[in-house]
Structure 1
Amino acid sequence: MADTTPTTGHRGPDHRATVRDVARRAGVSPGTVSKALNGTGQISSATRERIRSAAAELDFRPNALARSVFGRRSFTVGVITTDSFERFSVPVMLGAEDALGAGRMSVFLCDSRGDPIRERHYVEVLLERRVDGFIVTGRSSNQRPPLAGTGDLPVVYALTPSADQQDCSVVVDDRTSGTLAGEHLLRLGRRQIAHVTGPDDFDAVHQRLAGLRTALQAGDATLVGAPMFGGWTEAWGRQATQILLRAHPEIDAVHYGSDLLARGGIDALRDLGRRIPEDVAITGTDNWELLTEGARPPLTSVDMGLAEVGRTAAHRLLDAIDGRPHAGREQVGCHLVVRASTDGTA
């Protein structure tokens, strides 16, 4: 039978409510309290709500160490990234923290800098800290070898997929990003569309190009000139745009494989005396707001949903920790953010 004795005023200022206090208040066992507050176990919704109400009334705050010992979990997750620039791993990690924080999970972030030896070291360190699982991310959507040495602990890959198709990988939809940009430019009446992108050895480069070509073919249009492959730099965006416009002055739109390339393209078009978007409309990729909103004019760009990649990866990892693992690759959708570089009124 539940203990209904009022507690307000009966506990000294130094007394902290325990699991047993909550259990007595709710009329259940301490084990049931732990399961209810951790979101595990087969407990009726009415019982779970009664326990949560009792915990709130007693101002109960779970002790992390006690939760770890009782549930044989540390309530921590290791995040290993190869993105030393942090452009891509930071939004992925913020999304992951949003999801993990709701489950009272803490995150250890380790940057391996693409060094396999450093990565193995971090895996060992995180295992010593008894993490409950790993999220692995990077700066590209090129697949990578599976994370080694993790034993039976669950691993989820975010943005950068595992080469093992059975591993759980949450990735962006690069192909659709190119299609969205191409369809947008065609809707604006642009027909002479060119493409400036990154290195030829990036999977994302070819997927985005394929998506752009799909949109152009559906609109009975073709790419003007050859796709311009190069570095992910403003300098390449500037140089490639100058080469294209001098060879094909009829170009009335350019889709760039990244916002950094597009910022270089804006400089080149201005130097060539071309107005944006009146003469040439431009679109970027990534929706890096530091660049897109600071550009002159502000840049239309495809948002790849990196935060959602992180959130989804975290949810998949939590499922795996609770014994419900996921397998295979899962794509997160992207969307176009229209600004003045294609729509002068935006």
Structure 2
Amino acid sequence: MGEKRATVRDVAARAGVSPGTVSKALNGTGQIARETRARILAAAEEIDFRPNALARSVFERRSYTVGLITTDSFERFSVPVMLGAEDALGAGRISVFLCDSRDDPIREQHYVDVLLGRRVDGFIVTGRTSNERAPLEVSADVPVVYALTPSARAGDCSILVDDVAAGRLAGEHLIRLGRRRVAHLTGSEWFDASRRRAAGLASALADGGLSLAVPPLFGDWTEAWGRQATHMLLRSAPDVDAIYCGNDILARGVADSLRELGRRVPEDVALIGTDNWEFIAHGARPPLTSVDLGLPAVGRLAAQRLLDAIAGNPHAGREHVPCHLVVRASTDDAAPPT
């Protein structure tokens, strides 16, 4: 059998104080003389005392758990956000309950009620789009941070990707490459991300004295739309020399059609995607240059903002996480593998 684990009573006996005084000293609460606190901390270290997590939660009135609510059934976006959040929360030994509402408000409220019953310290809410969503229905004293999918309530804390900057990065890269006939294929115009990336691209081109070869082609977020849109595009603008796509899956479809039509990538047409979904980008032929939106960083910052709120220092409003371009052979045939 292993050695018996030290308890609060053992620390109290060694330091010559009551168990209640030990609890106050270890939790940083109550009016305790500096010398007494130092003696208690030394006693705890000498007998290798490690507080029980349940007892810690009782004394500190915290559960050291956080609820992560997602509407992203495909998990393409919520998983990187969640992993980033866990990186930040793990340092504080905080556990995460992940619940998928499947875009069902009734299911979401059920999960919220269950997690509140478990006394979670707060919530991170995420989804698969950057469109606004209704605020979570919780009391004002429960901290909530929105990640990727912002709250429609302006005063709530929301951590977002920078879709306008993503479009600008793509446009600036194409201008540096000397491309002059640029097109944009993207998903549904219903998505805020589609419109913002298109606006960012148009802004970068305008700064370089250029404009889009044709208006943006909005459609679906699928390879099939990428293939179809490429044929439509080259019929109306056969001299296009660069295409920026709203996501990497679209770009894969574009690459297929360009090969079918005898256009070389990147020699004839430079191609950029968005998301930097690595198994898609690496699997493309040639490997796909893509804008990385920084989803794990969104999760990490959301977790940090939630920890601040739990500690009594809430943040308000919207913050954007920087994105960056990952250059591969679809824009630069000399680019090293990444």
TM-score for both structures, normalised by structure 2: 0.91
Q: Given residue 72 of structure 2, which amino acid in structure 1 is its aligned partner? A: D
Match of residue 35, structure 1, among 5, 18, 27: 27
Q: Given residue 125 of structure 2, which amino acid in structure 1 is its aligned partner? A: V
8 Å CA contact 2:125, 2:146 repeated in 1: yes
* Corresponding residue for residue 112 of structure 1: 101
Q: Using the alignment, how far apart are the partners of 2:100 and 2:151 within structure 1? A: 17
Match of residue 68, structure 1, among 57, 71, 75: 57
Match of residue 144, structure 2, among 144, 149, 155: 155
Cα distance change on mapping 1:120 and 1:192 into 2, 3 Å: same
Match of residue 316, structure 2, among 303, 308, 327: 327
Match of residue 72, structure 2, among 65, 83, 96: 83
Q: Using the alignment, how far apart are the partners of 2:278 and 2:14 within structure 1? A: 50
Structure 1 stretches of 5 or more lacking a match? 1-11
The reply to whether residue 99 of structure 1 matches residue 88 of structure 2 is: yes
* Corresponding residue for residue 212 of structure 2: 223
Q: CA deviation at 1:24?
A: 7.6
Q: Given residue 26 of structure 2, which amino acid in structure 1 is its aligned partner? A: S
Q: CA deviation at 1:117?
A: 0.5
Match of residue 280, structure 1, among 261, 269, 279: 269
Q: Given residue 113 of structure 2, which amino acid in structure 1 is its aligned partner? A: E
8 Å CA contact 2:184, 2:243 repeated in 1: yes
Q: Using the alignment, how far apart are the partners of 2:206 and 2:273 within structure 1? A: 20
8 Å CA contact 1:287, 1:301 repeated in 2: yes
Cα distance change on mapping 1:14 and 1:215 into 2, 3 Å: same
Q: Given residue 162 of structure 2, which amino acid in structure 1 is its aligned partner? A: D
Q: Using the alignment, how far apart are the partners of 2:131 and 2:39 within structure 1? A: 48
Identity of aligned residues (%): 70
Structure 2 stretches of 5 or more lacking a match? none
Give the number of equivalent residue pairs: 330
8 Å CA contact 2:26, 2:41 repeated in 1: no
Q: CA deviation at 1:31?
A: 3.6
TM-score for both structures, normalised by structure 1: 0.89
RMSD between superposed Cα atoms in Å? 2.6
8 Å CA contact 1:123, 1:150 repeated in 2: no
Q: Using the alignment, how far apart are the partners of 1:20 and 1:297 within structure 2? A: 66
Q: Given residue 35 of structure 1, which amino acid in structure 2 is its aligned partner? A: N
**1:85 partner SS:** coil
Q: Using the alignment, how far apart are the partners of 1:337 and 1:48 within structure 2? A: 52
Cα distance change on mapping 1:192 and 1:31 into 2, 3 Å: same
